[in-house]
């Protein structure tokens, strides 16, 4: 009991606050359960195994994690190594701790080093798949934080294992865990994991480089102190309260830059930098001006990650200057909150310490999964949520192969993903060793085994309601059609006869009208029998046929409203009625633009005629469209503006307001001697947009403006 109390006092001292009675009780209970569960177990170092979870808990406390996470760190091995049921964890500590411990256990059971050795280690795709899978399996980001802390302590004590284990763990850490720490913005873990991995994989290179770095640091220590003192004095003179100190790149990042860019050690001049930490964001920009008043900046080396943060949320100002001694010096400027997030990550510091809700955490996790190198501020929340809707499910074959499937996929999707023949002879499935129905929704990390029956007659059309993948549905329909061609044609004929009767035409007249309106071409129908079969399979239906027949009969265009809202103008679409349309975000058409319609799963996408995305689209997917009236509607267009400085933005705002337009959002990126600004503006039509562009181009300090 005394040991547990001592550990509690240690955690409290790291937190620098007194824990509540409930928090303290949870730590004590977790400590005692973990200690008793690991009783008698030893590590390779010869110390009791329990020292490992104790240290994981300490690491988590240093990251300001909540008590549930620290308790999970203490308990993270008790299910896997000691056989403690997860229900016991849930009963004693609640759902959150149970979910975290269960998640860490599942990741440990993946044996990623084996999967990594089986994969082509040069295949970036396969390695990225493993990283994505870990994040996808972690419905709570704290699972990954605990796992990274677990790996960090294991790497710190790797010296006591065999050479083969050292190499294997170091490779796994460098390829999987360090990049995940980077993606979550946890620099302190990323840097140490990379350096430890580098040491075990390339000990000679590591030791040689460390000696050179230490010598260089020793040589430049006096200069760094002089620069720091000069900056401190200048900042104080301008009433800016800040901390200034020197920092060096970690060993692996220097080596990686040398290898990646083919540079010698002497050509790496930014491995030592000064860091300025201010009280707020405004002081960051003021400090940048003071730095440039002392030393001239190197063109192209000024980066504003505050206005446009990195993908993992990193915020800071970076500049490289030439000092009075003629040597290059990198300087980073940030406030204290930015510094905390840079060191400990958005996940560990911002999401949990500041009490952000579960939905925001989910948003953050999926945001980090996006692979577009653009600023967070450029994202619209609806676009993010749309991206989340297309989330994948990662499952395994019994042999450990990873299979990607759509969200909520079922065993039949898995069967067809393995092979068409496996799907066609599907007779049942086992998930994690248990038989489940065809309707069962697969979860991340499931091990799926398909039971096949070669004597089975083939898929049933009923399977379509359980399939989530379009590929699965297509294969089921194809097989069923091949086996039942004549039956489908006869059933389709009966359906078609009813449709003709409902429309008030003869069968022959309806067929003629469909052919005249290019219906067969649009739906890839070869002949009348193909039409009947597709009708039987619901690939075409009464509504689509009616739209074409009535459209041909009326000999006129029908008007439909945009799917988005009644606040948008109507678009006239040749020969169709009741079909959903939407304005394509890739080119953002504005009334007055030449437009074209393209058939898609969502309906008809309205694009500008010069849109690059539709350059190679087939003619059969193209629909003739035109604008209806649009006097009182608002549209969004994207402009790329090159300007000399941020101050120019005030003049641009004034011009846009004067022209009765408005700014929806903008983002800036420093490029050599100018700022590139991507801006979304709201306008009425193309004439209005042309006028706005002309006025912006006349602003003093604007070098160029063009529409995206």
- Segment 661-683, tens digit of pLDDT: 888 777 777 776 788 888 888 88
Q: Report the Cα 273 to chain-centroid distance in Å.
A: 30
* Cβ atoms of residues 438 and 131 within 8 Å: no
Q: Which two tokens stand for residue 480?
A: 């069923």
Of the listed 10, 51, 66, 80, which one is catalytic?
80
How far apart, in Å, are the Cα atoms of 319 and each of 256, 281, 305? Answer: 21, 16, 11
Contact predicate 312/346, CB 8 Å: yes
The stretch 527-532 carries a mean pLDDT of 84
Cα(673)–Cα(651) distance, integer angstroms: 19
Confidence at residue 522, expressed as pLDDT on a 0 to 100 scale: 67
pLDDT surpasses 70 at 378: no
pLDDT in tens, 637-664: 889 998 888 888 888 888 888 888 888 7
**Is 81 one of the annotated active-site residues of the chain?**
yes
Mean pLDDT for the chain overall: 79
What is this structure's pTM? 0.52
Strands 272-278, 328-335: pairing is parallel
Q: Which residue has the higher pLDDT, 142 or 231?
A: 231
For the chain, the 3-state helix, strand and coil shares in percent, each to the nearest 5, are 55, 15, 30
Least confident among 114-128, 247-261, 330-344: 114-128
Tens of pLDDT, residue by residue over 384-437, are 223 333 356 778 888 777 787 887 899 999 999 888 889 988 999 999 889 999
The label of the residue with tokens 């001292």 reads 13
State how far the Cα of 483 lies from the Cα of 383, in Å rounded to an integer: 42
pLDDT of residue 410: 94
pLDDT confidence bin for 63, thresholds 50/70/90: confident
Q: What is the CA radius of gyration of the chain?
A: 31
With bands split at pLDDT 50, 70 and 90, how would you rate the model's confidence at 632? low
Secondary structure element (H or E) that encloses residue 552, with its range: helix 542-554
Residue 683, CB-side half-sphere exposure with 13 Å CA sphere: 25
Residue 433's H or E segment, with its range, is none
Q: How far is CA 692 from the centre of its chain?
A: 35
> What's 119's DSSP letter?
S
289 band by pLDDT with thresholds 50, 70 and 90: very high
How many whole angstroms separate alpha carbon 180 and alpha carbon 369? 10
- Tell me the average pLDDT across 685-692: 88
Crossing angle of the two packed helices 187-201 and 163-172, in degrees rounded to 10: 140
Best CA proximity match to 132, nearest among 392, 348, 322, 341: 392
Burial track 359-385 (b if 16+ CB lie within 10 A, e otherwise):
eebebbbbbbbeeeeebbeebeeeeee
Instruction: Kindly state the tokens that stand for 578.
Output: 């009741």
* Residue 278 in tokens: 């201010």
Whether the per-residue pLDDT at 374 is higher than 60: the answer is no
| Helix, strand counts (H, E) of the chain | 30, 21
Tokens 């929340």 belong to residue: 381
Q: What average pLDDT does this structure show over 107-131?
A: 61
Of the listed ranges 130-134, 480-484, 530-534, the least confidently predicted one is 130-134
Three-state SS annotation for 46-97: CCECCHHHHHHHHHHHHCCCCHHHHHHHHHCCHHHHHCCCHHHHHHHHCHHH
- Residue matched to tokens 């690059």: 612
Structure tokens at 38: 């690991």
The contacts of residue 495 (CB under 8 Å, 6+ apart) are 532, 535, 536
Tokens linked to 623: 């629909």
| Cα 339 from Cα 245, distance rounded (Å) | 13
> Between 622 and 539, where is the model more confident?
622
* Separation between Cα atoms, residue 657 and residue 651, nearest integer Å: 10
Average pLDDT, stretch 687-704? 89
Helix H, strand E, coil C: the string for 460-508 is CHHHHHCCCCHHHHHHHHHHHHHHCHHHHHHHHHHHHHHHHHHHCCCHH
Cα 81 from chain centre: 33
The answer to whether 433 and 465 are in contact (CB under 8 A) is: no
Nearest to 52 by CA among 146, 188, 171: 146
Q: Best-predicted range by mean pLDDT among 258-272, 355-369, 425-439?
A: 425-439
* pLDDT class of 490 with cuts at 50, 70, 90: confident
Burial class (CB in 10 A: 0-12, 13-18, 19+), 214: exposed
- Render 140-201 in DSSP notation, one character per residue: SHHHHHHHHHHHHHHHHTGGGS-HHHHHHHHHHIIIIIHHHHHHTT-HHHHHHHHHHHHHHH
- What is the pLDDT, as a whole number, of residue 576? 56
195, pLDDT greater than 90: yes
**In degrees rounded to 5, what are phi and psi of residue 466?**
-100, -15
**How would you classify the pairing of strands 662-671 and 622-623?**
unpaired
Query: Tell me, what's the pLDDT at 483?
Result: 76
| Strands 603-608 and 674-683, bridge-based pairing | unpaired
pLDDT at residue 240 is higher than 80? yes
pLDDT band at 135 (very low <50, low <70, confident <90, very high): low
Q: Is 195 a residue of the active site?
A: no
Q: What pairing do the DSSP bridges indicate for beta strands 603-608 and 581-583?
A: parallel
- pLDDT score, position 555: 41
């Amino acid at each position: 009991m005394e040991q547990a109390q001592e550990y509690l006092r240690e955690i409290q001292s790291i937190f620098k606050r007194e824990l509540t009675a409930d928090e303290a009780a949870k730590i004590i209970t977790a400590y005692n359960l973990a200690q008793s569960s690991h009783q008698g177990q030893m590590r390779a170092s010869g110390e009791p195994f329990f020292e490992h979870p104790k240290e994981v808990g300490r690491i988590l406390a240093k990251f300001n994690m909540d008590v549930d996470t620290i308790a999970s760190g203490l308990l993270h091995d008790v299910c896997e190594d000691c056989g403690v049921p997860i229900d016991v964890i849930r009963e004693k500590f609640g759902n959150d701790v149970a979910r975290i411990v269960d998640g860490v256990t599942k990741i440990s059971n993946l044996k990623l080093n084996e999967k990594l050795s089986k994969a082509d280690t040069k295949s970036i795709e396969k390695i990225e798949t493993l990283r994505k899978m870990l994040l996808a399996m972690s419905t709570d980001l704290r699972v990954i934080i605990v796992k990274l802390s677990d790996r960090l302590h294991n790497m710190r004590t790797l010296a006591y294992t065999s050479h083969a284990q050292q190499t294997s763990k170091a490779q796994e850490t460098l390829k999987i865990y360090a990049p995940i720490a980077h993606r979550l913005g946890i620099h302190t873990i990323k840097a140490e994991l990379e350096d430890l991995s580098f040491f075990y994989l390339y000990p000679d290179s590591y030791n040689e480089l460390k000696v050179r770095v230490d010598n260089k640091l020793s040589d430049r220590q006096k200069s760094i102190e002089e620069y720091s003192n000069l900056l401190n004095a200048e900042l104080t003179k301008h009433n800016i309260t800040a901390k200034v100190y020197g920092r060096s790149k970690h060993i692996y990042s220097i080596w990686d830059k040398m290898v990646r860019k083919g540079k010698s050690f002497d050509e790496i001049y930014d491995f030592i930098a000064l860091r300025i930490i201010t009280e707020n964001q405004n002081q960051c920009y003021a400090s940048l001006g003071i730095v440039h008043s002392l030393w001239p900046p190197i063109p192209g080396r000024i980066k504003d990650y505050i206005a446009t943060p990195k993908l993992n949320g990193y915020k800071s100002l970076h500049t490289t200057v030439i000092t009075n001694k003629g040597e290059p010096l990198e300087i980073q400027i940030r406030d204290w909150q930015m510094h905390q997030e840079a060191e400990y990550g958005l996940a560990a510091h911002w999401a949990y310490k500041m009490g952000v809700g579960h939905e925001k955490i989910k948003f953050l996790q999926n945001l980090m999964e996006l692979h577009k190198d653009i600023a967070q501020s450029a994202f619209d929340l609806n676009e993010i949520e749309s991206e989340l809707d297309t989330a994948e499910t990662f499952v395994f074959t019994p042999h450990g192969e990873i299979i990607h499937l759509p969200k909520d996929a079922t065993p039949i999707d898995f069967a067809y993903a393995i092979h068409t023949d496996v799907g066609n002879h599907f007779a049942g499935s086992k998930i994690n060793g248990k038989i489940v129905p065809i309707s069962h929704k697969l979860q991340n990390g499931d091990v799926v085994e398909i039971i096949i029956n070669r004597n089975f007659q083939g898929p049933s059309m009923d399977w379509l309601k359980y399939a989530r993948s379009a590929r699965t549905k297509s294969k089921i329909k194809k097989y069923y059609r091949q086996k039942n061609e004549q039956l489908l044609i006869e059933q389709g004929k009966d359906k078609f006869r009813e449709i003709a009767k409902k429309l008030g035409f003869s069968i022959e007249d309806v067929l003629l009208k469909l052919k005249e309106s290019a219906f067969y071409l649009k739906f890839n129908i070869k002949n009348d029998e193909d039409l009947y079969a597709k009708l039987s399979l619901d690939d075409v239906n009464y509504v689509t046929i009616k739209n074409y027949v009535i459209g041909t009969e009326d000999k006129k265009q029908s008007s439909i409203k945009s799917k988005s809202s009644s606040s948008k103008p109507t678009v006239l679409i040749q020969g169709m009625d009741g079909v959903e349309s939407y304005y394509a975000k890739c080119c953002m058409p504005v009334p007055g633009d030449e437009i074209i319609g393209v058939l898609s799963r969502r309906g008809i996408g309205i694009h500008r005629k010069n849109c690059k995305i539709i350059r190679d689209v087939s003619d059969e997917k193209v629909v003739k469209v035109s604008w209806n009236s649009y006097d009182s509607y608002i549209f969004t267009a994207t402009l790329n503006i090159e300007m000399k400085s941020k101050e120019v933005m005030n003049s641009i705002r004034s011009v846009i307001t004067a022209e009765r337009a408005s700014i929806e959002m903008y983002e800036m990126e420093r490029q050599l001697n100018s700022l590139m600004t991507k801006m979304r503006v709201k306008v009425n039509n193309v004439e209005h947009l042309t006028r706005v562009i002309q006025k912006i181009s006349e602003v003093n300090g604007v070098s160029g403006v063009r529409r995206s």
